[in-house]
């Protein structure tokens, strides 16, 4: 497997990093030998092995990080020798990998086109358009391209396989006895960019605190401005994250774009009702609001107040969310990846 980074306690990471870790660990538990080429050291407690990708110091610099994701990363990913692997599963830059190894499984975690149209500055828009063109080319040339959601193929018609992300429903589970006694809201993401944590901070101050003075907003993000009732958590372990899901009344995400949206499923599995804005990932995971509440920006605060006010509504969403999370379990996802690996092995003798 190849991924830029793997989870490190104390450092913030996104959903793709956590997904790569869960997939690698899950495959090892099923008896596969998994090595991950990455720029970070082996995570504590990981069951897979790791090998460092070349150019680690450069990639971890401010400039290197921006140049390699989607651009120079295509060159760095081609430098190691992968001759002994049966399957090369890659998250990210694979425009050139298909020329080196025909057994590449490219996992598309959404579309750079969606990222481009959710960008807040012209440079990011341009870089995502360039990455999108690479995504089209790599999916066209690599027959084992997998989308983590069906909406991926709306932007990239060459993605013909879908394997939904899955979460460990044994670890991510409800724990009613730890539910907070005060109104509590959880956010997982970044303050800026498409995740829009700052938007939620503004909603919390303007529309929630006047009605719920004792409400608490837990922000799993980078450190933000000091605000009464807001707690920031950066680079926390999965155990602590699960605890935050289990104690929260509502999971709120005003994200502009998600290719899938792993936190939606994590919240559902922990019995936490989901409130999200409309985007491709939220619509697919909640099935257009059947398993959660989707709201426009102007009604987000009102719908959040309604969820905090109505315990019966939260209970209904809890039950629906648990059912949806069972459909998106880690075990189902692993079954599908193993079936794909068997197909590749059969074709390659």
Q: What is the DSSP string of 146-210?
A: EESSTTHHHH-TT--EE----B-TTTS---GGG--SS-EEEEES-SSGGG-HHHHHHHIIIIITT
Give a yes or no: residue 190 inside a domain.
yes
Angle at 159 between CA 158 and CA 164, to 5 degrees: 175
Whether 336 and 323 share a structural domain: no
More confident residue, 255 or 348: 255
Rounded Cα distance, 219 and 114, in Å: 24
Structural contact between residues 247 and 214, judged by C-beta atoms closer than 8 angstroms: no
Q: Whole-prediction pTM value?
A: 0.90
Measuring CA to CA, how many Å separate 88 from each of 46, 142, 202, 269? Answer: 19, 12, 44, 30
CA atoms within 13 A on the CB side of 325: 28
Q: Is the pLDDT of residue 67 over 80?
A: no
Q: Which one has a higher pLDDT value, 212 or 349?
A: 212
The pLDDT score that the predictor gives to residue 179 is 97
Give the pLDDT score at 163. Answer: 95
Q: Residue 72 has what DSSP assignment?
A: I
- Are residues 155 and 245 located together in one domain of the fold? no
Residue 5 lies in a domain: no
Query: Containing domain of residue 274, as a range?
Result: 176-327
- Please check whether residue 4 lies inside any domain of the structure: no
| Domain presence at residue 78 | yes
Q: Which residues pair with 274 in a beta bridge?
A: 251
Check: CB of residue 139 under 8 Å from CB of residue 156: yes
Mean pLDDT (the chain, rounded): 92
Asked whether residue 7 is domain-assigned, the answer is no
Query: Is the domain of 47 the same as that of 162?
Result: yes
Give the mean pLDDT of 47-67.
86
Q: What confidence score (pLDDT) does residue 171 get? A: 94
| Any domain includes 1 | no
Tell me what the mean pLDDT of segment 178-188 comes to.
Answer: 97
216 phi and psi, to 5 degrees? -125, 135
Model confidence at 268, pLDDT cuts 50, 70, 90, reads: very high
User: pLDDT grade, residue 95 (50/70/90)?
Assistant: confident
Q: Are residues 241 and 209 part of one domain?
A: yes
Q: Name the domain count of the chain.
A: 2
Statement to judge: residues 33 and 142 lie in one domain: yes
| Average pLDDT of span 265-276 | 98
| Same domain assignment for residues 47 and 155 | yes
106 lies in the same domain as 240:
no
Contacts (Cβ under 8 Å, ≥6 apart) of 47: 24, 25, 28, 29, 34
Q: Does 142 have pLDDT greater than 90?
A: no
| pLDDT average, residue stretch 34-62 | 89
Residue 26 lies in a domain: yes
In a domain, 87, yes or no: yes
Residues 184 and 139 in one domain: no
Nearest to 224 by CA among 214, 215, 234: 234
The per-residue pLDDT for 77 is 87
**pLDDT score at 23:** 95
What is the pLDDT, as a whole number, of residue 123? 85
Mean pLDDT computed over 97-103? 76
Whether 272 has a pLDDT exceeding 90, the answer reads: yes
Q: Domain check: are 50 and 191 in the same one?
A: no
- pLDDT band at residue 43, thresholds of 50, 70 and 90? confident
- How much of the chain, in percent, has pLDDT values that exceed 70? 99
* 20 shares a domain with 160: yes
Stretch among 8-12, 28-32, 269-273 having the lowest mean pLDDT: 8-12
Are 199 and 297 part of one and the same domain?
yes
Give yes or no: residues 316 and 210 share one domain: yes
CATH label of the domain that carries residue 216: 3.40.50.2000
What is the sign of the dihedral through the CA atoms of 213, 218, 219 and 223?
positive
């Amino acid at each position: 497997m190849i991924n830029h980074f793997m989870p490190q306690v104390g450092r913030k990471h996104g959903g793709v990093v956590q997904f790569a870790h869960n997939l690698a660990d899950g495959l090892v538990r099923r008896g596969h030998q998994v090595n991950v080429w990455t720029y970070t050291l082996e995570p504590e407690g990981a069951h897979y092995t790791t090998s460092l990708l070349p150019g680690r110091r450069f990639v971890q610099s401010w400039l290197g990080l921006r140049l390699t994701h989607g651009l120079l990363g295509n060159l760095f990913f081609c430098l190691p020798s992968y001759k002994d692997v049966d399957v090369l599963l890659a998250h990210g830059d694979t425009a050139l990998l298909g020329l080196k190894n025909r057994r590449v499984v490219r996992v598309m975690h959404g579309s750079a086109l969606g990222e481009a149209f959710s960008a807040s500055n012209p440079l990011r828009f341009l870089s995502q358009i360039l990455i999108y063109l690479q995504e089209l080319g790599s999916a066209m040339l690599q027959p084992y391209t997998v989308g983590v959601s069906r909406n991926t193929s709306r932007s990239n018609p060459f993605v013909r396989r879908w394997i939904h992300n899955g979460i460990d429903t044994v670890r991510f589970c409800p724990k009613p006895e730890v539910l907070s006694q005060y109104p509590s809201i959880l956010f997982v993401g970044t303050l800026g960019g498409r995740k829009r944590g700052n938007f939620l901070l503004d909603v919390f101050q303007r529309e929630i605190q006047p009605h719920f003075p004792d409400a608490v907003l837990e922000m799993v993000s980078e450190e933000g401005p000091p605000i009464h009732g807001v707690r920031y958590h950066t680079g926390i372990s999965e155990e602590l994250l699960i605890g935050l899901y289990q104690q929260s009344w509502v999971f709120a995400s005003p994200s502009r774009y998600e290719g899938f949206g792993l936190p939606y499923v994590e919240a559902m599995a922990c019995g936490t009702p989901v409130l999200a804005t409309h985007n491709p990932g939220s619509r697919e995971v909640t099935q257009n609001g059947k398993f959660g509440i989707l709201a426009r920006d102007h009604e987000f605060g009102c719908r959040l107040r309604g969820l905090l006010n109505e315990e019966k509504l939260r209970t209904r969403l809890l039950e629906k969310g648990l059912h949806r999370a069972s459909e998106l379990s880690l075990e189902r996802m692993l079954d599908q990846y193993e079936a794909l690996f068997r197909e590749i092995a059969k074709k390659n003798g």
